[in-house]
Chains A and B, each alone.
Chain A
Amino acid sequence: MVRDITIGQYYPTESFIHRLDPRVKIVCTLLFIVSLFIQNSLPGYVVATIFLAAVIKMSKVPVGFIVKGLKPIVILLLFTVVMNLFLTRGGAELVQFWIFTITESGLKTSVFMAVRLIYLVMGSSIMTFTTSPNGLTDGLEKLLHPLNRVNVPVHEVAMMMSIALRFIPILLEETDKIMKAQQARGADFETGNIIQRAKSMIPILVPLFVSAFRRANDLAMAMEARCYHGGEGRTRMKPLKYKREDRLAYAVTVFYLVLIFAVGRFVPLRLWIF
């Protein structure tokens, strides 16, 4: 069950998207997210959908894999939809029962909001699926390099992120194992009130923390043994250099931004209330 969580993982394969410079992917993902929020029209979403679908296709990451990444945000998603659905007022009333009223703009906002959130997660998971965590951190490090001048330890932060990403699957598996082991000792995580359930987490959390600290200690030692001493004097196995494809990808993304902005303004496509 916990091993089903795919968000933040790397999906190793060969594709055009995989080969892009991580900086391109980070910047373009940010631009894509921005694009979702600067417009709010059906034609705009159509363009965003086509763009996202094309990128997913090119990345060769199975769609099912990306959809699975949505699992952890289901609750957040439902919450947003419900809140928007019932609390946004405006336009004609569509449904009314008891104290609840669903209005046209309520429905519209909640649907668009859900789509935004889903696209946001899908867009960023495409980035993590196609960029090795090392690439990702290298990219961030290079992009944020100017912050070094104001004493932000950019390299260290990037390294920390990369390690966190590597250990997520390991710790998830470990959680699964510890849960099973405590169940074998008769532990019950499913019944009882909130306090009892919270208490029943102790036998999972304590061993998990102990193990995480042990791993952190081991890892620090292994890194030191391999002469790690911060970013200074370090060379790169895969130094970042923009290539033709990267410039192309930037150009396409900018074109997409202009397009989504333009269609939102000038294409009068309307469907029912949307």
Chain B
Amino acid sequence: MGIVHAEKLIYEYDKRDEEGNVIGTNRAIDGVDIDIPQGSFVAILGHNGSGKSTLAKHMNALLLPSGGTIWVDGKDTKDPAEIWNVRQAAGMVFQNPDNQIIGTVVEEDVGFGPENLGVPTDEIWKRVENSLRSVGMLEYRKDSPNKLSGGQKQRVAIAGVIAMEPKCIVLDEPTAMLDPNGRREVILAVEKLKAEKNVTVILITHYMEEVIDADQVFVMDDGHIVMHGTPREIFGRVDELKAYRMDVPQVTMLAEELRKRGLSLPRGILRREELVEALCRLR
């Protein structure tokens, strides 16, 4: 069993009319099976409303399943005795950089998680320093978060999670509200963490360029997992992806366009150099 493992996961919520009476139920997640091995980098794609954020919130026991089971680090999230262990094991970074920073000084925010876990003071300082360093934000430790750029705020949020020493970080659209530079900063910080600390990274996004380096990609639609594979396999299926309101990186799109026009290029080209090489070979 991987660090996150779900079987037949279902999440339902009540649909209400204007007076607040229940008039039915909606299924945000509908029978999801997923297994994420420790230490891997997994991306989950899906359009707005596909259920990907709901799934992410199950990994941190912020939502509990209506049916099926999800285990995080071997612990059933429904078990009330394990809830804090689950949350410690799977840290979470959210979309809006402003709404997840609790502290008014960068370092105090990073210390918030360890404080809640009851970590001794000396150890908190060590963890705060290390995690701020690992996201490249150590020099801002005394600053007010309000003065930071979006990308910097998200890196502080990541440091706040790292300071809790989780086995896995779930990033729920961490770059959706950032500009291209901020997005790059955040993705580089995540990649560096993965390389250094061997944490499992679960990245939820709808920016295709960000998932190229993932070990596995899941695509969600209407509460189901509809595609699963390596980035190359997934991006090789352009039409299918488009049907799920997704896109492919521009390089992949150009390669696909050229293939359609008769050039015999391989499917699922992801990087600029690959395409240039492939074209050179064709000449």
Enumerate chain A interface residues (CB-CB to B < 8 A): 10, 12, 132-134, 162-163, 165-166, 169-170, 214-215, 218-219, 221-229, 233-239
Contacts and interface: CB of A to CB of B under 8 A. Distances in A.
Contact of A237 (B84, B91, B115): B115
B128 A219 contact: no
B96 A218 contact: yes
Interface stretch (B74-82, B102-110, B209-217): B102-110
A134 B116 contact: no
A157 to B, nearest CB: 16
Contacts of A229: 84, 116
B132 interface: no
A225 B94 CA distance: 10
A225 B62 contact: yes
A221 B124 contact: no
Interface string B69-113: 000000000000000100110011010101111111101100111
A255 B61 CA distance: 55
Contacts of A227: 84, 87-88, 113, 116-117, 164
The listed residue with most B CB atoms (<10 A of its CB), out of A169, A222, A238, is A222
A226 B94 contact: no
A71 to B, nearest CB: 19
Nearest to B86: A227
Contact of A166 (B87, B96, B102, B142): B102
Contacts of B99: 214-215, 218-219, 222
Nearest to A211: B99
B144 interface: yes
Interface of B: 57, 60, 62, 84, 87-88, 91-92, 94, 96, 98-105, 107-108, 111-121, 124-125, 128, 142-144, 146, 160-161, 164
Nearest to A238: B108
B13 to A, nearest CB: 15
Given A218-B94, A227-B88, A227-B164, A234 B118 contact: yes
B118 A233 contact: yes
Given A233-B118, A234-B118, A225 B102 contact: no
B100 A219 contact: yes
Contacts of B91: 225-226
Q: Chain A binding site: helix, strand, loop or mixed by DSSP?
A: helix
Given A218-B100, A221-B62, A132 B108 contact: yes
Nearest to B142: A12
Given A10-B104, A225-B62, A237 B117 contact: no
Given A219-B99, A238-B108, 7 more contacts: A12-B105, A132-B104, A218-B96, A222-B92, A226-B91, A227-B88, A234-B116
A229 B86 CA distance: 14
B121 A239 contact: yes
B120 to A, nearest CB: 6
A166 B121 contact: no
Contacts of B94: 218, 221-222, 225
Contact of A12 (B84, B88, B119, B143): B143
Nearest to A222: B100
Nearest to A239: B121
Nearest to A9: B144
Nearest to A134: B108
Contacts of A234: 115-116, 118
Given A12-B144, A219-B99, A165 B84 contact: no
B119 A226 contact: no
A225 B87 contact: yes
Nearest to B90: A225
21 contacts: A12-B142, A12-B143, A134-B105, A214-B99, A218-B100, A219-B99, A222-B94, A222-B99, A222-B100, A222-B102, A223-B102, A224-B62, A225-B87, A227-B84, A227-B117, A234-B116, A234-B118, A235-B115, A235-B118, A237-B128, A239-B121
A156 to B, nearest CB: 14
Contact of B160 (A12, A226, A236, A238): A226
A222 to B, nearest CB: 4
A234 B121 CA distance: 11
Given A222-B102, A227-B88, A237 B124 contact: yes
A163 B160 CA distance: 17
Contact of A170 (B57, B98, B160): B98
Contact of B105 (A132, A226, A233, A236): A132
A227 B89 CA distance: 11
B245 to A, nearest CB: 24
